[in-house]
Each structure stands twice: as structure tokens, then as C-alpha cells.
Amino acid sequence: MCARRVLRSGPAAEIARSPLPKRRDARQRALAFDPMPDRVEPCLALLASRPPIGDQWAYEVKWDGYRLAVHIEPGAVRIITRGGHDWTRRFPSIAHDVRELALDTAILDGEAVALDARGASDFGGLQKALGGRGGKRFASEAIFYAFDLLYLNGRDLRALSLDERRKMLADRLGAGHSSIRLSEEVDADGAQFMKLACELDLEGIIAKRRDAPYRSGRGGEWLKIKCVQSETFLIIGWEASAAALGGIGRLLLAARRGSALVYVGSVGTGLTTKTATELRRRLMSLLIDKPAVTGIAKKGMRWVEPTLSAEIAFRAWTNDGKLRHASFKGVRDDADAGEIFVIDPVRDCAATMR
């Protein structure tokens, strides 16, 4: 069930009740509207070990896809990835359906996902639809789950509380369209919701402070709690194997620690013949003579420039800082650059997250 609070007064209520502005006559004085940002750096969720407690927190499903900002302007729609790439043409259904919302100007924050047979988000399925890293195909079946509204009808809403922004978002989406849906707030205790999400094999949940404004970056107003950890690591090499799918026995991975890279282990499961073959072709063009990470001695490995990043699911960390029970999910596109896992030097295996 979606829990919503009613706005009765104040600037947020006035914006929510305001009709769509008519096009201004050029002879009239310019109205004092807030300029529409060309791009907004997203608010990012901080990793937490357990759900927070208290009525000040709202909970949603954690979607596993591509973070997008949908910019709606008179006669134009732009779909911008977290990395700042314009992917409007790659999500034709979302671009078409968002025009049907009859919004004059708006910025929607959300996640594009592909759903599996159970209705859960499938990152691998979305990558396949898009043609993988660097692919040029379209994800016509992608669903956009909107979870925030940053700009509406000439007004910047980022200073308003989450509850106020969510109320306006729900009102504007209405019954929704085939590919535009509201990421619903779940009216439940955080611990119970987390337990249910894990039982359903979902990636996890998101907790957000109801009273918080929208702040770019990772300030702690949003938290993510995961059933199975999934992070982005750099590929620094691979072990060739004639018996393995696509010739890759395992990939060697690194995370960031300050300005340096640190080896965090390897992954050999989750690759298919097709993905491994394509990945090996790309890695062959990045060969270097020695590893990009110091203090690693692995004979028989092929080393590469640390420019390709992979999404890796894993269960835990070993005592010496290596991934445990790792599984390959996919290669992250340049559109999602900038979210390589960062190891906290104080806590060693905690990190700032996407």
C-alpha cells in the first residue's frame, strides 16, 4: 500500500494545485520562474547494514537498472543517464509515454528496469535489451519507475521535503502509463519489509527521510539495505581457460581506495558463452604488461588497463578484504561511470555507494 500525506497549505500545496502554465505572450513581462536545470546530479543512497527505525523514514523497493532523469519541456523530452549521457533514443517507450503525462515542464528522477517473469527487476535483462556495454539497441520493453519530482511547472522543488515532492509526483502520474509507473512507498515496518524483500529474492530496499530536501550526492538522507550485495568493480585482468565459457576462467577485480586501486578478488561464475566471448574481445584491446594494482602476484594472468567496469553480486567480504561467493551480472556502460566501489580506509570494507 502506498502511504501518502496530504498537503493542505504552504508553497508546495500552491505548486501542486497550480494549473499547467499557458504559453506566455511575448509582449508580457517575464514571469519569475525558476530556471530549469540542464542536468541535476542525483541524490545517492548510502549503504546501511539494517533498515532505520522511525516514522520519519519512508521505504521503497530497490530497483536494479539504470538511474535516469527524465527532462520534460514544451515539445521535447530528454532522458539523461547518471553519467550525463542522452539516452532518449534508447528508451523510446519511456520517451513516448512521458509525453502523454501532459506536463509542461518537469524533471522526474527514477530507474529504468526490465522485469522478469516474477515482476522483479532484472539488470542482465535490461543490458541484453540495450545490447550490452556500448550497444545501440533500444529497450522498448523497459519500465520507468519514478520515485522523485525535482522540477514542475517552472518551479524548482528540490528544497521541499520528500513527502511534498512525492505527493505532487503521485498526483501528476495518476493511473500511470504502460512504461511510466510510480515507485510506490510501502507502508510497513522497515525490518519486516526487508525480510519480505529478501524472501522474494529482491535486491533490497531503499529508506528515505520524509522531511529531507533533495540533495545531490551521498548525504545520508537516502539509505539502501541489500539482501545480496551488488557493486561495481574495475576489471584489471583475466585468467585464460580453454575449458571455460568464452575462454575466460575468471576475471580479476579492483576497487578504489583513495587515489589507488586495490585488488578485491576474482569472479568466475555468471558469465555466459556470449557475454564472455564479447568481453574477451574487448579485453584483448586493453592488454598491458603488468597489473595496474601493486602487491598482486598472479602468474598466468592477462593484465588490462582498468577501464572496463563490471557489476558483481556477492554475499560478503573475507577477513582479508576479498569478495566472497561473487557472481558476474554484467558490464557497466560508460553512462554509469563514476560509481566504482570505494573502500573506506577506516572501516576497510565499508563504502560509499550509488
Lowest mean pLDDT among 188-197, 263-272, 324-333: 324-333
How does pLDDT run across 6-41, given as a tens digit for each residue? 444 444 444 444 444 444 444 444 456 899 999 999
Per the rule left: phi > 0, alpha: psi between -120 and 50, beta: everything else, 48 is beta
Residues near 232 by beta carbon (within 8 Å), at least 6 away in sequence: 309, 310, 311, 312, 332, 336, 339, 340, 341, 354
- pLDDT for 45 equals 94
Q: What is the mean pLDDT of the chain?
A: 84
- pLDDT for 26 equals 45
Looking at the annotation, which residues are catalytic?
A: 62
Does the pLDDT of residue 180 top 70, yes or no?
A: yes
**Residue 338 CA, distance from chain mean position:** 12
- pLDDT for 132 equals 56
| Of 345 and 160, the one with more pLDDT | 160
How does pLDDT run across 282-299, given as a tens digit for each residue? 999 999 999 999 878 777
Q: What angle do CA 291, 297, 301 make, to 5 degrees?
A: 60
Owner of C-alpha cell 503525462: 101
- pLDDT for 7 equals 43
C-alpha pair distances (Å), 181 with each of 37, 74, 130, 173 = 23, 21, 20, 7
Q: In 3D, which of 114, 108, 186 has the Cα closest to residue 148?
A: 108
Does the pLDDT of residue 235 top 80, yes or no?
A: yes
Residues near 130 by beta carbon (within 8 Å), at least 6 away in sequence: 90, 137, 138, 139, 333
Residue type, 181: R
Does the pLDDT of residue 354 top 60, yes or no?
A: no
| Of 349 and 78, the one with more pLDDT | 78
Q: Does residue 130 sit in helix, strand or coil?
A: helix
Where would I find the beta strands (DSSP E) of the chain?
Answer: 46-47, 57-61, 66-73, 76-81, 106-113, 143-152, 155-156, 180-182, 204-209, 222-226, 229-240, 248-257, 260-267, 287-288, 301-304, 309-314, 316-317, 323-324, 327-332
Does an H or E element contain 82, and which? none
Does the pLDDT of residue 339 top 90, yes or no?
A: no
Backbone phi, psi, residue 255, to 5°: -115, 175
Rg over alpha carbons for the chain, rounded to the nearest Å, is: 22
* Stretch 204-228: mean pLDDT: 94
- pLDDT for 42 equals 95
Q: In 3D, which of 37, 70, 217, 240 has the Cα closest to residue 146?
A: 70
89 HSE (CA, 13 A, CB side): 5
Give residue 337's pLDDT band: very low, low, confident or very high (50, 70, 90).
Answer: low
Lowest mean pLDDT among 14-18, 123-127, 242-246, 304-308: 14-18
Question: Domains in the chain and their CATH numbers?
Answer: 42-226 (3.30.470.30), 229-336 (2.40.50.140)
Q: What angle do CA 335, 152, 112 make, to 5 degrees?
A: 30
Owner of C-alpha cell 537516502: 222
- pLDDT for 284 equals 93
